[in-house]
Structure formats: C-alpha cells, structure tokens
Structure 1
Amino acid sequence: MGVPFEALLPYGIMVGMFAFSAVSVGKLRQMQNGGKRARRGLDAWDRVMLERDRRLTGFMRGQTDKPEAPKGFELNNPWRVEYRFF
C-alpha cells in the first residue's frame, strides 16, 4: 500500500522552511559584510586589520585605494594609553 501524498506535505513544508531560512540568513550575512562572503577562522591579525578597515572606511570589510588616510585618522587611534604614562 502506498503512502498518501497528504502525509508528506508537512515534511515538504518543513524542508522548504529550513531551506528558506538558510538562504535568508546567508543573504543577511552577505549584506552585513558589504556584499562579500562571511569571513571564517579569523586570527588576531585579521581582527586588527578588519578594525583598521572599519576606522578607515566606516565598515568592516571596506577597503580603500587612497594612499593617504582621511583627515582626523591620526587621532583615531584604537590603542588606549594609561594616564600615568605621559
């Protein structure tokens, strides 16, 4: 005896919803990264460079081809100095 297709409809709907949510989350991550694919396996140096790019361009994955930093970037230092060292 065969399985009626009505019994398989909930499984089809669930698989469709999983596929839709996976595509949606992937597209959202891509939009958050400036249209580029998400980065994986970042080490400390990559994080420093991403922070530098964010300070230069305004978003993490942005890069610029200008040879000089924008005005005010020399004061935009991420390093914090203790007050006792002047």
Structure 2
Amino acid sequence: MAAARQRWLVPIEPLFPLLVIGAAGLLMRWGVAKYQRYENDGKPKRWSVDRWDRRMMERDSRLTGNVNVQQAEVEAPKAFLTNSAWELERPFM
C-alpha cells in the first residue's frame, strides 16, 4: 500500500482581510503625505528643525503672514515696525 500524498493547503480565508488592511494602511500613508505637502505649500515636510529654523520661521511669519513664504526684500515693510514677537508674550494676570 503506497502512502497517500498529502497536499499542504494554504488557508485563503485570511488573505483578503489582510490585503484590505494593507491597502488601507498604504492609502492612509499616501494621504497623510499629500496633506502635509498641501499644508506646507507643496514643499516636503520639515524635519530636524532647530532653534535657528524656528526663529526664521517666526520671522517669515511676521513678515509675510506664512511660515513657508520667505521675503527677499532689502527693506522690511512698514508694518514690520510694530509687528514684534514681544507682543505675543503677555504676562499671565
């Protein structure tokens, strides 16, 4: 009597849910990356931002109203004279 050959059956029931979960994860990753680019005016997300970068971002925000837009004018606009960072820090009363 010859031994019957056994086949190794792969359970296919969990493959579709795993595929759906993986596709949802990739879609979310793509969506978050697109939103971060949209929020940053089409530029990639900033990383490794140090104190100097934060100060320059604050300066750009006060000059142009947006942290992502820089201004290369030689002289600052007149509104920049009264637009000080010190006004942002009010004492707690």
- Give me the TM-score of the superposition, normalised by structure 1: 0.81
> How many residues are matched?
82
- Give me the TM-score of the superposition, normalised by structure 2: 0.76
1:58 pairs with 2:62: no
How many angstroms apart in 2 are the aligned matches of 1:19 and 1:50? 31
Ranges in structure 1 where 5+ consecutive residues have no aligned partner: none
Higher-Rg member (1/2): 2
Identical aligned pairs, as a percentage? 38
Query: SS where residue 79 of structure 1 aligns?
Result: helix
Query: SS where residue 72 of structure 1 aligns?
Result: helix
Question: Which amino acid in the other structure matches residue 75 of structure 2?
Answer: E
Q: After superposition, give the CA deviation of every residue in 1:34-70 in whole Å (9 maximum; x if it has no partner).
A: 1111111111111000011111122111112322222
2:31 equivalent in structure 1: 24
Choose which of 60, 74, 82 in structure 1 pairs with 2:81.
Answer: 74
Which protein, 1 or 2, shows the higher relative CO under an 8 Å CA cutoff with sep ≥ 6? 1
Choose which of 42, 45, 49 in structure 2 pairs with 1:42.
Answer: 49
Ranges in structure 2 where 5+ consecutive residues have no aligned partner: 1-7
- How large is the RMSD of aligned CA atoms in angstroms? 2.0
Give the drift of 1:6: 4.0
